[in-house]
Amino acid sequence: MHGRRLATTDRLIVLASPDSDAGLSRIREWADDHDIDVEVVDIGDDIGDVSQPDIPTLGITLGGDGTFLEGIKQFTPNGIPQLGVNAGTLSFLARVEQDDIEDALDEVIRGRATVDSRQKLKVESSGLDTTGINEVTVEHVPPENPFDRKVTRLEVFADDEYVGQYEGNGVAVSTPTGSTGLSLSAGGPIHMPGDNHSLQIVPLHTHRIGTRPLVMAANTDIKIITRGQASLLVDGGRAHKILSEESVVRITGADESAHVVRTSYDDQFMTAITEKLGWGLRGADNGPQDLLETDIPPREPTFLEHARDIAIEAAKSVGEPLRELHGRVEDITYKSDKSDIVTEADHQANRIITTVIENEFPDHSIFSEESEFVKGESAYKWVIDPVDGTGNFAHGNPQYSVSIALLEAGQPVLGVVYVPETDEVFHAIEGGDAYKGETQIVTTERELLEESMLLSGYDPDGGFLTHFYNQTQGVRSLGSAALNLCYLANGSADAVWEYDTYPWDVAAGVVIARAAGATVSNRFNEEYTVEFDSDERKSLLGSNGFVHPSLYDHLESSNLV
């Protein structure tokens, strides 16, 4: 989940521990000031009665780590990101202090918080199927007779490869989040938990001096088989089962990750370790930060570079909700009309993008295909098509995109096109180079029409296809004008023809294509211009430049101009 998406939060669900009235009062007052709804759920109660999937929601846990873990259990299955406010004592997970609640929430709704993806565990055994975020332990059950055997033997396999026999108190399998608790006490390494997807097997009081913790990939299929009775606990007892001899416990990374919101008001991870565990490598401060300074200070980004980075963040922040909605259109379990899903996709994407831009550039104008024009005081205007290729989207086709352009005094100076299904982002600044991600892209250098691959947009009577298909290496129609221009820029096609376009369809793509070396004209071979003072659609002819003369000549001789 992208932190920019949090800017559209309309609702808070607070999971509150006892004796947290002061913090709860501050949250309510802040929410009232920002016209955001609040639902409060006591520890032990289910959030299902108040959770509404269609409303952008932030989960807040108000308590210690126990409350935070309860939040993970409830918020994660509902796809709700959570912010942990510390109202307890020894807390590694809930790291926003109550005095900073308002400032942290301000940062969240401005889209400036980050969201950690936290690895979870999936645990299965006879009669047990659950998830956790800290650790699973398989331990010896204390005997009723103190003279009976006090150790357990466990056989451990990883992806069916035999790891070995563990004899002692037992074994823990932990996530990076759980590495600071039982795992650390048993000699396991500490993991930086954010966006760290791994698992580790840690022996508990082993009787073999050479046994060491093992770190492995999150999708490893770990099996623990008991050689006697044992006790299985998940997250310190949130799930518990007594295992009989030769029971099989299967542990792997859960499909769903927990989304943990982090703000600049959180205690840093190493600070929390230092204060709570007496970390011996550093004092209470952040160390000799001056050593990080160099003789060459980092270059400050230009305004357009900053605007490009914000546009990329805004575009990528809508990737997850668009992919979720796109997955529904061909799913027979969803009964709503496809047009309703497409409308919701346009609405969600547009709201997230425009909110991010308004937060960062409050004096800029915003034009979007899906909302009313926002008039700003500056010469800059953002042009947004939240879903270009809605026909493809409605039929489960992955060829759709998010298009964001910035105009200065009416001229496109910045373009970003994002492809949610492939997580590709194309971008360029006028006068600079074009990129796909961090890789520069350029057009092809083919000069002959018969060697060229063409892309076509709307072709009402099939004239372009008829006159160009046999004279070239083929004509393809993708259904997204923005993507057509990006593929031209990327060298995936040699030319593009659009019978008619609206400015929001192509404003970003034109910047990207030209930065990559493309020539873009109208049907009269005049330079293509992006104009908003008319509702009239315009034709577009784009090419690598080398093939443009013969391309236009053939277009003219075919009576298509």
Q: Confirm if 138 and 154 have CB atoms less than 8 A apart.
A: yes
Instruction: Answer for the pair 519, 542: CB distance below 8 angstroms, yes or no.
Output: yes
User: How many Cα atoms sit within 13 Å of 552 on the Cβ side?
Assistant: 19
Amino acid of residue 405 = A
* Residue 306: DSSP 8-state: H
Query: 13 vs 28, 64, 102, 339, 362, CA distance in Å?
Result: 11, 17, 16, 30, 29
Identify the CA nearest to 434 among candidates 381, 510, 492, 380. Answer: 510
Write down the catalytic residue from 19, 32, 65, 266. 65
Measured distance CA(105)–CA(265) in Å, rounded: 10
d(CA 430, CA 512): 8
| Cα dihedral sign, 306-309-311-317 | negative
Do residues 3 and 58 lie in contact, with contact meaning Cβ atoms separated by under 8 Å?
no
Q: Which residues contact 239 (CB under 8 A, 6 or more apart)?
A: 123, 128, 130, 132, 232, 233
Q: State which amino acid sits at residue 174.
A: S
Return the amino acid letter for 153: R
Alpha carbon distance 84, 234 (integer Å): 21
The Cα-based distances of 141 to 242, 362, 424, 485 in angstroms read: 8, 63, 52, 66
Distance between CA 65 and CA 260 in Å, rounded? Answer: 13
d(CA 485, CA 505): 10
Residue with tokens 């796909």: 436
Residue written as tokens 């396999």? Answer: 157
* 385 part of the active site: no
Task: Give the DSSP per-residue string, 155-216.
Answer: EEEETTEEEEEEEESEEEEE-SGGGGTHHHHTTPPP---TT--EEEEEEES-S-TT---EEE
Q: How far, in whole angstroms, is CA 334 from its chain's centroid?
A: 24
Q: Which residues are catalytic?
A: 65
